[in-house]
């Protein structure tokens, strides 16, 4: 692991959130900023549809919002180039961290290369197990239970060219108990996500964690 490439602005790490879901983890990040347990600065939210619930959360916290819709006939790379323009418009430079929180689009090599080493993602299992193509949402928890594992958890990692293959920054676990269901396990894992994504951003800000050198 090398020196964190995230530039410090007035002593703070700047980040932009990519979210195309309800934004429960995003709300945890907002709450941590309000409580000053997270002192990094959120430059904005990028989402893909005007009806995403994460938008209201951003607006309530006076965080700028950019909606980038994938239009009919638009390739993934064309879509991502518009996302990249939104990043620049929000003040994102080549050193700003991009924090994916419920971002439902698989990123192309073009976007990964454009922002290599700076895109964070949270996966609802203990990588490298139960990751890759097809391992998302309830499918992950179902696979974990079917494997007979004694614990699950979250993996916060830096995205690379593969799916769920990038360097892991932090993992936290929760036990799997007798009678565990997909819903009960998901609730435990999501609680870990809400707790540890803000803490991971803060550890990057304070230097306790480092992003990989690129």
User: What CATH number should be reported for the domain holding residue 199?
Assistant: 3.40.50.170
Domain contains 213: no
Domain contains 1: no
Which pLDDT value is given to residue 94? 64
Q: Which residues of the chain have pLDDT under 50?
A: 1-11
Integer angstrom CA distances of residue 50 from 47, 65, 115, 123: 8, 10, 25, 25
Which pLDDT value is given to residue 9? 40
Domain contains 3: no
Which pLDDT value is given to residue 1? 27
**DSSP calls for 58-91:** HHHTT--EEE----TT--HHHHHHHHHHHHHHTT
Are 198 and 36 in contact, with CB atoms under 8 Å apart? no
Query: Taken in order 72, 15, 213, 123, is the CA torsion positive or negative?
Result: negative
Query: Taken in order 151, 196, 45, 82, is the CA torsion positive or negative?
Result: negative
Owning domain of residue 104: 8-206
Which pLDDT value is given to residue 95? 66
Domain contains 71: yes
Which pLDDT value is given to residue 5? 41
Which pLDDT value is given to residue 87? 94
Number of independent structural domains in the chain: 1
Run of H or E residues at 171: strand 168-175
Integer angstrom CA distances of residue 117 from 96, 129, 154: 10, 22, 19
The tens digit of pLDDT for each residue in 145-155 reads 999 999 999 99
């Amino acid at each position: 692991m090398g020196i964190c490439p995230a530039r410090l602005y007035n002593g703070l790490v700047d980040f932009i959130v990519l979210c195309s879901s309800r934004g429960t983890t995003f709300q945890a990040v907002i709450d941590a900023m309000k409580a000053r347990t997270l002192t990094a600065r959120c430059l904005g939210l990028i989402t893909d549809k005007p009806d995403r619930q994460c938008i209201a959360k951003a607006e309530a916290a006076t965080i700028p919002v950019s909606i980038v819709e994938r239009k009919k006939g638009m390739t993934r790379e064309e879509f991502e180039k518009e996302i990249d323009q939104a990043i620049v418009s929000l003040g994102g430079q080549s050193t700003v961290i991009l924090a994916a929180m419920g971002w439902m689009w698989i990123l192309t090599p073009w976007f990964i290369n454009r922002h290599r080493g700076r895109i964070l993602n949270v996966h609802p299992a203990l990588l490298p197990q139960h990751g890759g193509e097809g391992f998302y949402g309830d499918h992950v928890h179902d696979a974990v239970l079917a494997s007979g594992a004694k614990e699950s958890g979250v993996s916060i990692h830096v995205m690379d060219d593969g799916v769920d293959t990038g360097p892991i920054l932090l993992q936290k676990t929760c036990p799997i108990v007798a009678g565990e269901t997909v819903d009960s396990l998901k609730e435990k894992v999501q609680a870990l996500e809400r707790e540890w994504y803000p803490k991971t951003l803060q550890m990057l800000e304070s230097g306790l964690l480092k992003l990989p050198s690129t």
